[in-house]
Amino acid sequence: MSNIAQTICGMLKESRYTVVLSGRGMLEENGYPVVRDGGESYGIEEKYGYSAEEIFSSAFFSTRKQQFYDFYRNELLSAVDIPPGKGYLEMARLEQEGVFHTIITRRLFHLPTRAGCRNVIELHGSIFRNYCAHCGREYPVEYIRNTEKIPLCETCGQPVRPGVILFGEMVDNQVITRAATEMQKADVLLVLGTNLKSFLCSQLTGYYEGNKLIVIDGEDHFSNAGADIFWQSRVDDALAEIITEMEKDRK
């Protein structure tokens, strides 16, 4: 058992309120695509004639819906059958045991909730929620995935859209306010699978008023010098060590 796991375990046990920021590294560990971040930009542009950022935008959705949905089904919805992996299940276990209090993510695949987490803030929405912008009727992800053309509302015939934030759209103020409130309540902030310069952290860490900032990520980054603890590790492996340490302390 590593000393760093013991140190983090001690901080978490003493914490009154721990908030977790879950980033793209956890998604990659789970085998999900990160095309929304341009991680496979060359292949996407070669395949579709546009970058992922161009396609996954409000402007593109408004003017080229068929091309948008071809990309959306092939590159994002193709992964929805992959179940939440070890890291997300460990995160859910720690939340259920009262160690974690809130999970905040920009990821679109609803993985923390599907793993069993209850208090999750999805800043950019979820591909599992889809709706008609005209009449408000909601549709499951299977409805989008099983259509070949533009999915249309069965009530009013208007296009159904994903319940996610596209490039060029603003995050709902109520969602940001809720996330900011949770950050202000935290005395421990645990950043998983991303660095402190990521958009997720840049958007939220300014609200954090505590003094125990922990980053666990598989890649080192200069910004992590700003953390009280940086642990270079796969998130799922690190959480497994923390859980083992906590179980040992209970004996």
Catalytic residue among 101, 110, 124, 221: 124
Contacts of 170 (CB under 8 A, 6+ apart): none
124: annotated active-site residue:
yes
Of the candidates 147, 197, 169, 198, the residue with the CA atom closest to the CA atom of residue 24: 198
DSSP string of 82-133, one letter each residue: SPP-HHHHHHHHHHHTTS--EEEE--SS-HHHHHT-SSEEETTEEEEEEEET
What's 73's DSSP letter? Answer: I
Instruction: State the residue for tokens 């939440």.
Output: 84
* Per-residue tokens: 110: 């609803």
First to last CA, the chain: 16
Residue type present at position 229:
I
What is the chain's length?
A: 251
Q: State the catalytic residues.
A: 124
